[in-house]
Chain A
Amino acid sequence: KNQVEQSPQSLIILEGKNCTLQCNYTVSPFSNLRWYKQDTGRGPVSLTIMTFSENTKSNGRYTATLDADTKQSSLHITASQLSDSASYICVVSEGGYQKVTFGIGTKLQVIP
């Protein structure tokens, strides 16, 4: 069964600090991996999308990495801001776009 596991489940960091969220998956064959940010009470917003051949993708202070060999991805947030407080969801698509598997998400809280 295809799975996407995210860690940690929740995280509290001080404003201005960096953090890294992890995503491990067993989805095969792999097509692409996306990271979404979901603010409380709102729908998810796409941050990055990476295909098999891409190792790194940046979007402002967000940098996603992908190691397709170990089936691991990470989302690094630099110089965190209070507005980064949200849930971050990792989504892996199976080849042939027939299926997607979502992680449960990591809930990040940035405190002043």
Chain B
Amino acid sequence: KAGVTQTPRYLIKTRGQQVTLSCSPISGHRSVSWYQQTPGQGLQFLFEYFSETQRNKGNFPGRFSGRQFSNSRSEMNVSTLELGDSALYLCASSLSPGLAGAGDTQYFGPGTRLTVL
């Protein structure tokens, strides 16, 4: 069974540009969550999608948005990039929604390393 895949793996952009990251969950998983990881802040929750609906959102500005398609694949978009957006963006999938679902494990992808110059 294939794991969570994320594309692209690496990305370099300049300030002011926008970027779209893609995540394909494990087959059969309908919940997809996005996280930002930086050395100073650690992992921070961006948002969670289940059945094409955003169920939960972290404390990030509106420049960060996402969506989920009917096949459970998800995209994350960041507009008007800032230097501080440089980070590893991780996607995780699980069978059911809710980050606190007891016994339901989240499976993470390898991440997309975004560098903003």
Contact = CB atoms under 8 A, between A and B. Distances in A.
- The size class of the interface chain B forms with chain A is 20 to 34
Contacts of A105: 42
Q: Interface residues of B: mostly helix, strand, loop or mixed?
A: loop
Contacts, number: 54
Interface in B72-117: 90, 92, 97-103, 105-111
Interface stretch (A13-21, A45-53, A68-76, A78-86): A45-53
B19 interface: no
B110 A31 contact: no
B99 A97 contact: yes
Which size class do A's interface residues fall under? 20 to 34
A18 to B, nearest CB: 25
Contacts of B42: 89, 102-105
Contacts of B98: 97
A102 B37 CA distance: 10
Contacts of B109: 43
A9 B41 CA distance: 13
A8 interface: no
Nearest to B92: A43
Nearest to A91: B43
A107 B107 CA distance: 21
A44 B56 CA distance: 20
B100 A32 contact: yes
Interface string A92-112: 011111111011110000000
B90 A44 contact: yes
Given A43-B4, A102-B42, 5 more contacts: A43-B90, A43-B110, A43-B111, A93-B99, A104-B41
